Every structure is written in structure tokens, then in C-alpha cells.
Amino acid sequence: MDFQAEYDVIVAGGGVAGAAAALEAARSGMSVALVEKTVLLGGLATTGLVLVYLPLCDGNGRQVTFGIAEELLHLSLRYGPGNIPAGWRSGRQLDEPGRYRVVFNPASFVLALDEALEEAGVELWLDTLMACPVLDGGRVAGLEVENKGGRGLLRARCIVDATGDADVAYRAGAPCQTGRNWLSLWVLEVDGSAETPAGALPKMTWVGANAHGGGQPADIPRLTGVEPRDATEFVLAGRRLLRHRYRDLYASGAADRETLFPAALPAMAQFRTTRRIVSRDGLRPGQDGRAREASIGLMGDWRKAGPVWEIPYGALLPQRVDGLLVAGRCLDAEGDAWDVARVIPPAALSGQAAGAAAALAVRAGVSPQAVDAGPLQAHLRDRGVRLTLGEVGL
Ligand SMILES: Cc1cc2nc3c(=O)[nH]c(=O)nc-3n(C[C@H](O)[C@H](O)[C@H](O)COP(=O)(O)OP(=O)(O)OC[C@H]3O[C@@H](n4cnc5c(N)ncnc54)[C@H](O)[C@@H]3O)c2cc1C
């Protein structure tokens, strides 16, 4: 090995889930490393230009998601522009029909994430790829990583897989499932034909399919995102569509290349559902409105008002592998439940729970599978997270 280091907790992947996990573990007194293959924190939310922080509420004026998920929503606006929607600036359970969501500037969110993680004392390893887990029997004892310094070994007493693709869990031998993805490409655009007010966000435009598959080009297969050629084929197909859009607009005279052109492209493939773990207690379609054993918090349904889900701790625990938790869009959620759970607020919430559970596991010298729900829930409640439907009056 070219280099080595040791921590209490390592988080693989610096998207919103990984950032939340690292923040919570560090604030709980752990030495924490966060390994991120790009040089930007935020994952799909920033590198992927997904600039809508979906709602923390149920669509009926009731906030349901709390804790670091709410803190990150505020941080996404810290370096401008934009504001918290008027009805949500103070207090809870407002008679507020508009949802508690914001549109943010990805670059500003990165600045605020750097700041928060540095303040918490997290050791960042940017431009560093998690190459493979290191196993000690059935326990993940560390990660082999690659960067310009060569190949290194980072050891930890507990590891959080927040890669979005369950890379650590899968390579350690945990059972996983894959999803199928519609082709989408969200980009930022300069549109000089529109009067742009001061403080306006860059204009977001997209080509390809919407989140439900409408507009999917007939000749493009639905890729899982985890096969060797998938990312390449997906992003090249998206950029081909984008070129067609500009060519058509310029040829028809609807726009010209001096006023309408792309400003920024996502630097990661915009796959929604790639690989997730299969746990003993995952989220399944139709389980909204139900009490779950060991809930770690609540998520609303970004698509419609009403449904609220308790997220069970078990959905973060891979089978057959010890010493490992999973957070974000690769936690165990199936079908419709995956569509609800894969977005920014549940990713941050599950990250916070994974960070808290990792800290409890390290303190007790046990695997995350052996962490008792009682102390974990007490820890999260102390942090202001509301865990059950009853706690938000449902
Ligand atoms: C087209 C599209 C539109 C969307 N729209 C919205 C929306 O409007 N609002 C919303 O809330 N959500 C939306 N989502 C979903 C949302 O953006 C993500 O699902 C969410 O941000 C997931 O966060 P995460 O931290 O779990 O994963 P990711 O954001 O995928 O983060 C994973 C991180 O891990 C890193 N990583 C991966 N593998 C490795 C490795 N081997 N070594 C080191 N680092 C690694 C990645 O670089 C990345 O930074 C959308 C998604 C897509 C694709």
C-alpha cells in the first residue's frame, strides 16, 4: 500500500447522504473520514445539477422530515440566491399549502457543505475512489482507495456506504437489487433572450424522459447504471439529444447560438435508481401511514400530498455483512417506495441515522446490526428528529 490511515468511522461517497452521515458521526465524537471520488460534495444534488431540494412536509402544511435534512436545506441557500418559502420560516405544522422545498444553486451548496464538514472536523478525501472493501471474516474492516498518491488502505471500526450505488455492500457480498433508468439529462443553460432578474438562478432545462418515463426515446434501452458500459452510453445518449435540441432550435430560428447555449453539464451520470441493498426490513410499496419497528424518521411523498412513511432502521442494514451501514438512494426500498425514498430529504435523513448508529456501534464495540433501537432513537430525538407518525400528529 502507498498510504494508510485509521478512523472510527469511514463514509464512502460524499453526496447528501454521505455528508449527513459524516456530520452526524463527527458531531457524536467520532474520528471520521469521508471518501469522495469527485472534488465536490453533494453528489447528484451538486455534481449532478439536481437543484431542487424536494419537500420536508406532507403537502398538507405539516413538516415531517427534521434534523440534518432540514439543516442541509438551509445550507443549500447560505451562499445565495433564494429563500425559505414564507410560510416555513418559523414554527411547525403551519396552515401552508405551498410545500417546504427550495430551488438552490449547486455551486453555493458545495461551498456550504465544505464549510459544515470542516467545522465538524471530518477529514475529507476528495478525488479519491473507494476501490474495494477490505473484509475481516464477514466484517468490513476498511476500504482500499485510489488517488494520485497511489493505492491506500483506510481502516475503520464502522463504515457507511453512501455511494448511491451500494458499491461497498455489493462488493462485500451483501444481496442487492438493481433498478432500470429512464434517460434524462438536466443541464444549466444561458438564455439571453429572457430578461434575467438579479438573483435569478441559472436556468435549468432537460432533455429525454421525465421521472415517470414520459418522453423516453424509443431507441434507448433502460440501463441499470452498474454495467461496465452503462454510464458511458447513458451520458453520451443524453448529450446527443441535447445537441439535437440546439440544432433544431437554431435551424428553425426559434433561438440562435449567440443567445441560447448550455452553461454547465452534469459531471456524473443522472441515474435515479441503480443498485440498492436487500435488507430484512426494507420499505415496500403501500407501507406509507404504517408504524414501523425502530423508525429513524419520516419522509413525505414528493409526488403528491398526503402519504407519510416511517423509515425503519433495518432498511440501512445489509444482510451477510457486518460493520456496514447503507444510506441514501441505495437503502432498501422497492418499487414505488424506492421512488419516494431516493430523493434528497430521505437521503439526508438516512445519512444522519447511519452516522448516529455508526457512532453508537463504535462506542459499544458492536456491529451496527447489534445497535439497540432505543438508544439510537433517543439520540436522534435529542438531535430534533421526529421519528414516528404520532410525533407529528398523524
Ligand atoms: C435526473 C434526476 C433528477 C432528480 N431530481 C430530483 C429533485 O428534483 N429533487 C430531489 O430531491 N432529488 C432528485 N433526484 C434524486 C436525488 O438527486 C438523489 O437521489 C439524491 O441526491 C441521492 O443522494 P445520495 O447521497 O444517496 O447519492 P448521490 O448523490 O449519488 O451521491 C453519491 C456520492 O458518492 C460518490 N461515489 C460513488 N461511488 C464512489 C466510489 N466508489 N468512491 C468514492 N465516491 C463514490 C459520488 O461521486 C457521489 O458524490 C433526481 C435524480 C436524478 C438522476
Q: Calculate how far, in angstroms, residue 256's C-alpha sits from the geometric centre of ligand 1.
A: 33
Model pLDDT for residues 307-356, shown as the tens digit of each residue? 999 999 999 999 999 999 999 999 999 999 999 999 999 999 999 999 99
Q: Which of 226, 243, 264 is the last residue of a domain?
A: 264
In a domain, 269, yes or no: no
332, 306: one domain = yes
Q: Residue 352 falls within a domain, yes or no?
A: yes
Residues 11 and 136 in one domain: yes
In this structure, the answer to whether residues 7 and 136 fall within a common structural domain is yes
Confidence (pLDDT) at 92: 62
Owning domain of residue 63: 3-178+274-392
Handedness of CA 313, 316, 317, 319 (dihedral sign): positive
Cβ neighbours, 10 Å, residue 222? 14
281 in the same domain as 141: yes
Q: In testing the pocket of ligand 1, which one of 104, 271, 343 has its CB within 8 Å of the most ligand atoms?
A: 343
Residue 371 inside a domain? The answer is yes
Supply the pLDDT for residue 149: 98
CB 354 less than 6 A from any atom of ligand 1: no
Residues 315 and 297 in one domain: yes
Task: Check whether residue 163 and residue 299 sit in a common domain.
Answer: yes
**Does residue 113 form part of some domain?**
yes
Are 96 and 229 contained in the same domain? no
Question: pLDDT under 50 in the chain at which residues?
Answer: none
- 321 in the same domain as 188: no
Question: Nearest C-alpha to atom 48 of ligand 1 is from which residue?
Answer: 43
What CATH number corresponds to the domain at position 386? 3.50.50.60
| Paired residues of 161 in beta bridges | 12, 326
The model's pTM is: 0.98
pLDDT value of residue 97: 66
**For ligand 1, atom 40: residue with the closest CA:** 130
- 46 is a domain residue: yes
Do 33 and 75 reside in the same domain of the chain? yes
Domain co-membership, 174 together with 193: no
What total number of domains does the chain contain?
2
Q: Is 88 within a domain?
A: yes
